[in-house]
Structure 1
């Protein structure tokens, strides 16, 4: 009887893991033994996406497919850095409910889970940065776990609701968070239809549906993944420290270029509430420039600046109090 119950439990867990590919609202209790255990069945889509990159040898390449890949990398990177991070995580500016939803959808297309899950875990990171409770600290958990192992574990699957109650009151955001695979699937379908349409109407472009999915979604997403993940891993290991933050955050100009300004990570940990992470004119912050453009159009407003006392090196507020307040 005990063996039968164990088999039924194991079978139920496997089906639950598969169900969570499509409905992340399906959760189960997590035991302490699962803290550092990767949920391999649930992470099959993540692994499959990386393996699928090899399909480029069959689909080939065309200038239009590469252009779409770059465009979707840039658009989704900005949705992650400008809205998932600076808006949903830190409330560094204000916007309307409509604009909030539009960029939440664009962020969801980056396949980095929903906005509530992303922002909730990021807030936890700032509250515990590089301490034992920080789930993606290279110092505490190791480089590869901080890079991608942490979000593949069962323990970190659920959205930390207590950290994100301010945005959890919006049902549309809760929907995106629960059904986080929906937008990526729709993006793949749209790219396939675009490629087939171009193949029929403009065969000289040398593309088709599968090639457009390969470059516009598979390759673009995998590159976007690992560039984004470097902020948790590399930016806590390699770079310069301009401010004493009490953690291992670094400023890394290479990562700043690749991530549209997120590489000024030590700046950000010193004053996380600002819409601007490149504190000086020579610290290129593409996300901030694009946010300024959106502010000019009226789509967003009240961008929180970096205080002049920080820029000029006269800040005397303790780091702990500053991070709590901001």
Structure 2
């Protein structure tokens, strides 16, 4: 139990407390006595989405993890949106986040370690000067210090934060004809939603959900959180493959941040989108299934034969995955060079098709044995 707690950051306490109180009390009263129309609600969603995507696509995947590159215009848009989201500068946010990934779940080094409890990881870590000695140390972000947009936003963050959080709601309120309604809905409610949905990734996404890729940290995959956080809820995947520009890798997984980054690449606004090799992803999933069933079968001495068969099928799957993806890489090179139909590659093409067929067979065998033992 902590006896000498760090000093309270009263500005943060005031911002979080006052905005939440206004959103929870004043906004419902205003809705009851005055009311909001669809234009205001749509503007709330637009502003909330702008803030959220500036954090997920900008602060997180672009700057913290260098998962892709973006042109100057898009970087400026994200930088302004990040100030609007009121979550500190790109440089500061990214520095915290890189430390989090390097020391995840380490109570002494992870800025928002989930092992210190829900409240701490959600908001408590920002209410006291737990990282006071590191506030000016951005040595882990030397690459970002070479980005003119990052440093421009860092130098003028306070001005940008005030201008966006008051200016945008006020401008909309003047145009729409309801300044107080705009300040409440687009100003305060939007800010509270933006804050706490983002904070869910530090807290709930390390508590609630599944671990299909790794159990070496507390990160979880959760489709509900993905819906609330523009795709960031597939956090277990992210913590093992952090430089992938995607979090939801399946076509049906809700990841609008991924869709935004990909669609921008069609216009040349983003480039060098990084993805984790498919063989590593498949191996990680299979390894987690193996470990889970090993624990289950190991509890009974009568399961030794089943355990041996499970491990045999796993080993066979690993070999076939490796062989196939090596061959697939060469096949892609041949296709790119338009050499697939050349006579000297005929034997390899046949071998490639056989490897593909054998891998599919082994995948089916793996699914059968895991379903049986589960």
TM-score range, shorter-chain basis?
A: 0.7 to 0.9
Counterpart pick for 2:170 among 163, 168, 192: 192
Other-structure match for 2:88:
113
Q: Distance in 2 between matches of 1:214 and 1:305?
A: 40
Q: Which residue of 2 aligns with 1:64?
A: 39
Question: Contact 2:170–2:179 (CA<8 Å) still a contact in 1?
Answer: yes
1:136 is the counterpart of 2:112: yes
1:196 match: secondary structure: helix
Number of equivalences: 276
Normalised to the residue count of structure 1, the TM-score between the two structures is: 0.78
For residues 47 and 137 of structure 2, what CA distance do their matches in structure 1 show?
29
Q: Which residue among 207, 213, 218 is the counterpart of 2:188?
A: 218
Which residue of structure 2 lines up, in the alignment, with residue 5 of structure 1?
Answer: none
Shift of 1:123: 0.2
In structure 2, what is the equivalent of residue 250 of structure 1? 220
Question: Which of the residues 242, 265, 274 maps onto 2:235?
Answer: 265
Whole-angstrom distance in 2 between the partners of 1:128 and 1:267: 17
| Deviation of 1:186 (Å) | 1.6
CA contact (8 A) 1:120 1:159 kept: no
- Any conservation in 2 of the 1:238–1:252 contact (CA below 8 Å)? yes
Distance 1:176 1:156, change over 3 A: farther
Deviation at 1:41, TM superposition (A): 4.4
- Structure having the higher helix fraction is 2
Unaligned runs of 5+ in 1: 1-31, 200-207, 318-326
**What is the rounded CA distance, in whole Å, between the counterparts of 1:307 and 1:159 in structure 2?**
36
1:167 aligns with 2:167: no
Deviation at 1:209, TM superposition (A): 1.1
Report deviation, 1:315.
8.6
In structure 2, stretches of 5+ residues that fail to align are: 288-374
Q: What does residue range 26-37 of structure 1 map to in structure 2 within 5 Å?
A: 33=4, 35=6, 37=7
Structure of greater Rg: 2
> Is 1:77–2:52 an aligned residue pair?
yes
How far off is 1:103 after superposition? Answer: 1.2
- The residue aligned with 2:298 is none
Deviation of 1:249 after TM superposition, in Å, equals: 0.6
Query: Please, which of 56, 66, 79 is the counterpart of residue 104 of structure 1?
Result: 79
Q: Secondary structure at the match of 2:266?
A: helix
